[in-house]
């Protein structure tokens, strides 16, 4: 079975609920006829409810950017998986490099979040990727291997089938510097092979692996034309209706 293309917008800490309602309405109007691409938006927590109301019964799905793995309790400032589901989320981004770097999230914590997301029925989008100095030191594959080892610890085959992976080289995020199609393909093929080794060929074939890092309408076609690139996790270009919907439309191959 061929993997479907997924275009996911990661809004990061942008857009109030009021602004989100406007943006989601604009996106919905432009993409309502597209059925060959899965479309996901991940607004901040405070805009999830309003975004969920707007996308209601459309071809756009809703995801969050983070959560905490405990069910409830004394975790000031945190959000649970059931709160996300109650706000209409089907997906959640886990282990984004900004969470790893700025908020010190470890592979151990990320692993707990993945397990909890799956248990709660949320599709995790697990982000991995190397920093510039790691790429320059030829450590890209070591970093990817070690992140996946830690993040997927004790995750069985059935659970793995629920996980989406986003390869996001840190040096390409928000920098305007995109990985070349060859660099992306090389990393994605490497990741798919790791999944094959840890699980099996079938799971490896079915896993959606997104590229993230300055993806935009001008480079999306080349990137997704690569055999192992199944779509994108888009930051900057997802904040504007025109640039995001243009990107979605360019991914819509008949
Ligand atoms: P960018 O962000 O598209 O702005 O580079 C991607 C991401 O961080 O997911």
The contacts of residue 19 (CB under 8 Å, 6+ apart) are 47
Residue pLDDT, tens place only, 84-110 = 999 999 999 999 999 999 999 999 999
Q: Which CATH number does the domain housing residue 126 bear? A: 3.20.20.70
Q: What is the pLDDT of residue 252?
A: 87
Q: Report which DSSP code applies to 179.
A: P
CA distance 209 to 128: 11
Supply the pTM of this predicted model: 0.97
Of 91, 96, 98, 130, the catalytic one is 96
**Which DSSP string corresponds to 50-105?**
HHHHHHTTSSEEEEES---SSSSSS-TT---HHHHHHTT-SEEEES-HHHHHHS--
How far the first Cα of the chain sits from its last, in Å, is 16
SS3 at position 197: helix
Ligand 1 atom nearest the C-alpha of 234 is 3
Instruction: Count structural domains, the chain.
Output: 1
Residue 188 falls in the annotated catalytic set: no
Q: How far is the CA of 74 from the centre of ligand 1 (A)?
A: 32
C-beta separation of 215 from 244 below 8 A = no
The pLDDT of residue 178 is above 90: no
Ligand 1 atom nearest the C-alpha of 215 is 3
Ligand 1 contacts CB of residue 215 (under 6 A): yes
Residue pLDDT, tens place only, 16-32 = 999 999 999 999 999 99
Give residue 151's domain range. 5-251
pLDDT, greater one: 1 or 159: 159
Q: How far is the CA of 232 from the centre of ligand 1 (A)?
A: 9
SS3 at position 155: coil
The pLDDT of residue 223 is above 90: yes
Q: How far is the CA of 235 from the centre of ligand 1 (A)?
A: 4
Q: What is the pLDDT of residue 2?
A: 81
Ligand 1 atom nearest the C-alpha of 212 is 6
């Amino acid at each position: 079975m061929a993997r479907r293309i997924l275009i996911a917008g990661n809004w990061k800490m942008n857009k109030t609920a009021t602004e989100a309602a406007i943006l989601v309405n604009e996106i919905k109007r432009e993409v309502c006829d597209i059925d060959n691409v899965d479309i996901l938006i991940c607004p901040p927590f405070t805009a999830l409810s309003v975004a969920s109301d707007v996308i209601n019964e459309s071809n756009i799905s809703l995801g969050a950017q983070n959560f905490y793995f405990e069910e409830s309790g004394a975790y000031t400032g945190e959000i649970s998986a059931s709160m996300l589901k109650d706000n209409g989320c089907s997906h959640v981004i886990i282990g984004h490099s900004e969470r790893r770097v700025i908020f010190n999230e470890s592979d151990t914590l990320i692993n707990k979040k993945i397990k909890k997301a799956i248990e709660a029925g949320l599709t995790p989008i697990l982000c991995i990727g190397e920093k510039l100095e790691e790429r320059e030191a030829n450590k890209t594959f070591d970093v990817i291997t070690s992140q996946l080892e830690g993040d997927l610890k004790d995750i069985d085959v059935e659970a793995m089938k629920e996980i989406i992976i986003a390869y996001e080289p840190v040096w390409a995020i928000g920098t305007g510097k995109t990985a070349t199609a060859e660099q992306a393909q090389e990393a994605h093929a490497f990741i798919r092979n790791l999944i094959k080794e840890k699980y099996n060929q079938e799971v490896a074939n079915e896993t959606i692996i997104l590229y993230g890092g300055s993806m935009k309408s001008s480079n999306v076609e080349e990137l997704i034309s690569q055999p192992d690139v199944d779509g994108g996790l888009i930051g900057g270009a997802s904040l504007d209706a025109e640039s995001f919907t243009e990107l979605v439309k360019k991914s819509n191959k008949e």
